[in-house]
Amino acid sequence: MTEYSDRPIKDDKASPVVLAAGYAGLFPFVAAALVSWFGPKLPFGVDAVDLLKTYSAIILSFLGGIRWGVALSPMAGAMRSRHILFSTLPPLTAWIATLLPAGIGLPLLLIGFSAQLYWDIQAHEMGLIPHWFRNLRVTLTTGAVLSLIAILPELA
């Protein structure tokens, strides 16, 4: 049975399942960037840039959902409404990015991921998320951002 507490989360280590799932989620970022530079043409006229833009939007929306979930925890306290309000920004940013040309949408996604990482770091400092999650978010966001940056020259 799980107990709820108003004490900060102090877990030190991510489980192997969490790490595997996190790094598996990074694979499409890296693969799309590599395919855009070196890979073969994709079937059905699919473009690696569009794949990366779409996948980035999905993941940024997912991160907004995590933020919503954190806002619902007992630890959110008086800041709950603010956290819930801000949790809608990642999916809205992602949706707008999918509507824009890649030259605008990809930089918008870069900003979205960077802002979300800033929130993840702040949430850790407030005791809302465990240390291992902050570390995982830094690593995965760095991979996502580098993949987005790597694909930008393909737009020129």
Condensed to tens digits (0 to 9), the pLDDT of residues 14-34 reads: 899 999 999 999 999 999 999
Per-residue model confidence (pLDDT) at position 1: 37
pTM metric for this prediction: 0.88
Which of 52 and 156 is assigned the larger pLDDT? 52
User: Could you tell me if residue 36 is inside a domain?
Assistant: yes
User: Is residue 5 one of the residues assigned to a domain?
Assistant: no
In a domain, 20, yes or no: yes
Residue 140 maps to a domain: yes
Q: Which of the two residues, 44 and 132, has the higher pLDDT score?
A: 132
48 belongs to a structural domain: yes
Q: What is the pLDDT of residue 6?
A: 56
Q: What is the pLDDT of residue 30?
A: 95
Split into its structural domains, the chain has a count of: 1
Q: CA nearest 123: which of 139, 140, 137, 142? A: 137
